Structure 1
Amino acid sequence: MLVAYMLQFLDKQTLSSSTIMGIITDLKLHGSQYSWASSCFYFGYLFATYPVSLILIKFPLGKSLSIMFLIWAIILACHAAAKNFATLMVTRFFLGIAEASISPGFSLITSLWYRTSEQPWRHGLWFCGNSLSSVFSGLIGYGIYHIHDSLASWKWLFIIFGILTFVWGLVLLWRLPDSPRNAKFISEKEKKIAMHRLRANQAGFKSNKLELSQIKEALLDYKTWLVAVYSLTTNIPNGGSLAFSSLILEGFGFSVLNTFLMGIPMGIVIFLFVLSTTYLSSKLPNARCLIIAAVNVISITGAVVIYTCDTIGAKYAGLCLMQVFSSGMPLSMALVSSNIGGFTKRATVITCLFTCYCAGNIIGPQLFFAREAPRYKVITPISLKLVIDPG
């Protein structure tokens, strides 16, 4: 799951990386078209969130996820055939549909294999694929940029990442189990032990039956909406920073190649925060919400540093800190998977969480206006008055 999550996040970053390889010029994107292309991915994700939740309930979990992962890889490679804004929007929309199963599906798998006390750390382990993708995408992107061929380098980026993802999708189809009951790599005795371990969770086992009463219970539970609103508010900056991170770094004054390389330390920072916060939450009782609050305070501090400081070093440090909020995402998923009883209810709450995840990521890129490139420093009425009349 860690490698799969690394690949799918790396795939999502390809659009951001392609901006400094010339996709905006080649496809003649102008105004807010790039922002809409980034947001369109999450429209597809949002459209598919509920149908995918039904698929994950009704069909074998591991096989469903593997097939969606293979479809994702094919659609990603098709980005290289985009000719204009319209074709890019179509591919982004269908890529979002294919991706809608991955995060909620992995969270459900984690809940089927591990006790509640073990789940934050396990969520953190596969979620680390996000930060590792930042490291590898910089190195791979650096190499791909040196390809000189009839195809533009940004097209090779989508093709190569698509092939890598497809190969790993075949591995998932072969090895990713639906549940401990049918895992081929453990014995019958170990299957019984795995099922017995989960009885302490009192959260129910995987069932292919859709329980309407559990859906109603989930939608009427105020805790469902607390988690959902958290997901919305944190993913507004996530959507913007994911889509525009390469352009922001380039705006600091880095060359194209150095922009790729400067993304590596950012990935390492997030990797360390994800590991440390999820490990601490597994060891400290009732600390998950406090840790989530703490990482968000750090991110806000980073955003203030970027906004107020003028030196490149300080801005870069602020950008690294600003990304720390993403380490709260695996903790929020662990809150759901370890505290919600009943498989249908758990799947419903996860659906609500990722619906708001989509909404936040749709809003985020729209807050970056083309006229403010490359700094994207919004001029408010107060700051405008200071420019006109410093007194």
Structure 2
Amino acid sequence: MGLTQDNLGGDPTGQLYAWINSAFYFAYIIFQYPGTILGKYFPQNYWLGIAATGWGVCCTLQATSFNFAGLFVARFGVGVFESMFSPNMSLYFTFFYTRKEIGKRLGIWFACASIAGAFGGLIAFGVQHIVSSVQLWKLLFIIEGIPAICFGIASIWILPDRPETTKYLTEEERVLAITRMSRGGKKEEEGTLNKAHVKAAFKDWKIYVYGFVYFGVNTAAAALGAFLPTVIAQLGFTAAQAQLLTVPPYAVGAVLLIITNFVSDHYQSRGIPMVFASLWGAIGYLLLIVSTSVGVRYFATFLITSSTYTVIGLAIAWFPYNMGSESKRAAGIPIFQSIGQCGSICGSNIFPTADAPRYFKGFGLSCGFSFATCLVAAGMTAYFRYENARRDRLHGEVDRNAPVDTSDADLSPGFRYTV
């Protein structure tokens, strides 16, 4: 839409655009850990509302940039506020929903990311047809940034804080909510942090395996967000048509994500759905590599988009609840997500303009990561089933809905993993 010509001197190699795209992830990785740990000390409605408002401000400020440096700084700011928001949302949902309910809730929430991709394409298509003295790419940032500011400010008053402090609940409802928070675990006091559990998070090999899974799937997610319109344009469509044609893959991705998470909650299985979702994504990349048919390659974008968002949706519902305590989640979520966002930097740089139109390097790496995620998810499922069975033999079977002493987080004898 003219950004590279106005701000990046035409960017013939595509490398400057890749750096701009990566700026978000640099900030996200650097500030994610303090952004999640500090969030535990503040009212959640204020923390999340301020994060969303700041995100909107920085998004809008991108429209004021006139060179690479200005755009990079504004984009970096978007990443700072995103690091305060997304990881804390995964933690925030655990305050209100049990492990049997959280999959579909987080699935619906994360499906909004896929739906946003669809609306982003529609908005971009519409903006390209506006006759204006203001550059169209600037209008796009303004149109996408200002609503985030408005909703962010509103959410400070609309969102409830934790169940024990929010004013939305009666005392009877509050007691019930706190009881639900302790199912399969033990609720922590508001504004406290168990430092032993924070240290345990850094030593837990499982969190680094989660990080590897997240690395692979975020490679694909970042590539989708930045390059899907370009890939579709290479199939022979105009830039405006390509923006419009990104809508159906994102819409289908949102629907499949929600369906998969509902099924996952019903059967209390996260790993097996992740295996199948990763597999169909890998097949999608293979089709992009081997096929020259426009129809087949466009169909492949449906497989890839639905796979990417489904795997991320399952991951954010699966991984946090296997950490055993609020403090370990507060430390563990940013650890595995920081590793994962390194994959986003990778995904932002594996589709250089020189590789068009086949992009063998980008598609090949993403295909390999999808197959690897499939294998790792299967391995983790087998491990969790084995560990649950071992604890049942040693300590007896437990009621998953009863409070459990999790003073040793997920290593406590009464804790059972979600598989």
* TM-score calculated relative to the size of structure 2: 0.82
Distance in 1 between the 2:215 and 2:61 partners?
Answer: 30
- CA drift of 1:312 comes to 0.9
The residue that corresponds to 2:4 in the other structure is 24
Q: How does 1:182-331 map to 2 (within 5 A)?
A: 182-205=165-188, 207-285=190-268, 287-323=269-305, 324-331=307-314
Determine if contact 2:117/2:225 at 8 Å carries over to the other structure. no
The alignment partner of 1:50 has SS state of helix
Per-residue displacement from partner, 1:216-269 (whole Å, max 9, x unpaired)? 111222221111111112212222222111111111111222112211111121
Distance in 1 between the 2:107 and 2:189 partners?
Answer: 22
Matching residue's letter, 1:213: A
The alignment partner of 1:117 has SS state of coil
Distance in 2 between the 1:341 and 1:261 partners?
Answer: 44
The alignment partner of 2:182 has SS state of helix
Matching residue's letter, 1:34: Y
- CA drift of 1:357 comes to 2.0
Matching residue's letter, 1:304: L
The residue that corresponds to 2:332 in the other structure is 349
Unaligned runs of 5+ in 1: 1-20, 381-391
The residue that corresponds to 1:49 in the other structure is 32
Matching residue's letter, 1:24: T
Distance in 2 between the 1:235 and 1:121 partners?
Answer: 21
Q: What is the aligned residue count?
A: 359
Determine if contact 2:51/2:81 at 8 Å carries over to the other structure. yes
- CA drift of 1:201 comes to 3.0
The reply to whether residue 39 of structure 1 matches residue 29 of structure 2 is: no
Distance in 2 between the 1:41 and 1:203 partners?
Answer: 35
Distance in 2 between the 1:313 and 1:75 partners?
Answer: 38
Of all paired residues, the percent bearing the same amino acid is 28
Determine if contact 1:112/1:206 at 8 Å carries over to the other structure. no
Determine if contact 1:278/1:330 at 8 Å carries over to the other structure. yes
Distance in 2 between the 1:246 and 1:331 partners?
Answer: 26
Quick one: structure 1 residues 34 and 206, their matched pair in 2 at CA, closer, same or farther if it must change by over 3 Å?
A: farther
The alignment partner of 1:180 has SS state of coil
Determine if contact 2:32/2:87 at 8 Å carries over to the other structure. no
- CA drift of 1:186 comes to 2.8
- CA drift of 1:304 comes to 0.6
Distance in 1 between the 2:313 and 2:186 partners?
Answer: 19
Determine if contact 1:29/1:85 at 8 Å carries over to the other structure. no
Unaligned runs of 5+ in 2: 364-419
Of structures 1 and 2, the one scoring higher in RCO (CA 8 A, sep 6+) is 1
Per-residue displacement from partner, 1:165-208 (whole Å, max 9, x unpaired)? 11111221111122112333332221211112222131424532
Quick one: structure 1 residues 358 and 187, their matched pair in 2 at CA, closer, same or farther if it must change by over 3 Å?
A: same
* TM-score calculated relative to the size of structure 1: 0.88
The reply to whether residue 76 of structure 1 matches residue 59 of structure 2 is: yes
Matching residue's letter, 1:263: T
Distance in 2 between the 1:226 and 1:371 partners?
Answer: 33
- CA drift of 1:164 comes to 0.9
Quick one: structure 1 residues 135 and 242, their matched pair in 2 at CA, closer, same or farther if it must change by over 3 Å?
A: closer
- More displaced, 187-196 or 371-380? 371-380
Quick one: structure 1 residues 158 and 117, their matched pair in 2 at CA, closer, same or farther if it must change by over 3 Å?
A: same
Distance in 1 between the 2:217 and 2:129 partners?
Answer: 36
Distance in 2 between the 1:43 and 1:320 partners?
Answer: 28
- More displaced, 78-87 or 138-147? 138-147
Determine if contact 1:305/1:318 at 8 Å carries over to the other structure. yes
- More displaced, 94-103 or 183-192? 183-192
Distance in 1 between the 2:53 and 2:82 partners?
Answer: 10
Distance in 1 between the 2:362 and 2:283 partners?
Answer: 20
The residue that corresponds to 2:380 in the other structure is none
Determine if contact 2:288/2:297 at 8 Å carries over to the other structure. yes
